[in-house]
Every structure is written in structure tokens, then in C-alpha cells.
């Protein structure tokens, strides 16, 4: 098990997992994308591009692919820093880290999760099982979240090709 890297980053596999499950949604044609409401609630938070949310994302907002990509690159650094802080010096592989960044990117709840508590306690099988408990939005099981959590759990359990 690799120890915490002094400077975590997300691996290609983790970034691809996030992008695959977020999708660069709601293309308008001509290479632009429009903001859309949360699929689980049909309301706030509004989202654009690779799952970007925030006070600047409102109905009617239109971005280019370059804007979507730049916002993802900016936002992912915040999620990486948050997960790294939450993990502290806990032994963590790159794949475990990437899976937890994806989880945090989608839920924002890693810090309050049993998943994190189990990981920090070294119960990696237990932590892996926790991903599957986060499949609801607005009280409904969402098939997209079921698939995403399964992909995150699989990545979490996958041995790294090289230690982090």
C-alpha cells in the first residue's frame, strides 16, 4: 500500500471515469453546451460541461468545449486538494485516491462518509462496499449513479500498475 504522495494528482483513469459518468452534457450544436438542472431534482444545482456547478451556473448559460474543459481542470484541483486533506497520511493507492476524488466530485460528501472512515481505518473491503450505498438522488435510485458507484468501487479495488 502506497503512502500519501506529497503532491497528489488525479490519474488518467480517474479523470476519464469522472468525465465518462458526468458526460459533457447538453450540447446545443456548433460545439457549445448549455446549463441544465440537476437530473435527480429537476432544479438546483444547475450544471454545465463536465458536471460543473456553482453560483455562476444558471439557466441559459452557454459554454464552448474549451470553457467546459478549462472549468473541469480548475475544479478538479479543488476536489484533489479536499480528498488529499481528508486522507492525511493514510496509506492510499492512486486508484483508491482517484475513486474517492470521483466520489467527492459527484457527492461532495466524502468527509462525512463511512467510506472515508473505513478507508482511514484500513478496512478497504468495507470502504469499497460503501460506494454502492450512494445511488440515490432526491430519494430515488438513479441508474447512472448505480453504474458510477460500481465503476468507482471497481477502481478503488484495482491494484495500481505503479505505486502512487
| Rounded Cα distance, 19 and 13, in Å | 10
Catalytic residue ranges: 22
Non-local CB neighbours of 126 within 8 Å, separated by 6+ positions? 118
| Rounded Cα distance, 41 and 114, in Å | 24
Provide long-range contacts, Cβ within 8 A and 24+ apart, for 52-61.
59/35, 60/34, 60/35, 61/34, 61/35
Amino acid at each position: 500500500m502506497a503512502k500519501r504522495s506529497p503532491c497528489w494528482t488525479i490519474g488518467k483513469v480517474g479523470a476519464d471515469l469522472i468525465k465518462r459518468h458526468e458526460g459533457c452534457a447538453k450540447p446545443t450544436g456548433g460545439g457549445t453546451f448549455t446549463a441544465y438542472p440537476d437530473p435527480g431534482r429537476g432544479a438546483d444545482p444547475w450544471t454545465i460541461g463536465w458536471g460543473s456547478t456553482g453560483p455562476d451556473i444558471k439557466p441559459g448559460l452557454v459554454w464552448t468545449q474549451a470553457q467546459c474543459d478549462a472549468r473541469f481542470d480548475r475544479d478538479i484541483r479543488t476536489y484533489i486538494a479536499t480528498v488529499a486533506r481528508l486522507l492525511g497520511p493514510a496509506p492510499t493507492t492512486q486508484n483508491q485516491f482517484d475513486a474517492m476524488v470521483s466520489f467527492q466530485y459527484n457527492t461532495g460528501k466524502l468527509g462525512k462518509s463511512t467510506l472515508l472512515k473505513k478507508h482511514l481505518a484500513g478496512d478497504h473491503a468495507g470502504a469499497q462496499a460503501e460506494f454502492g450505498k450512494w445511488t440515490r438522488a432526491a430519494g430515488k435510485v438513479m441508474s447512472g449513479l448505480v453504474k458510477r458507484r460500481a465503476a468507482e468501487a471497481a477502481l478503488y479495488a484495482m491494484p495500481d500498475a505503479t505505486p502512487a
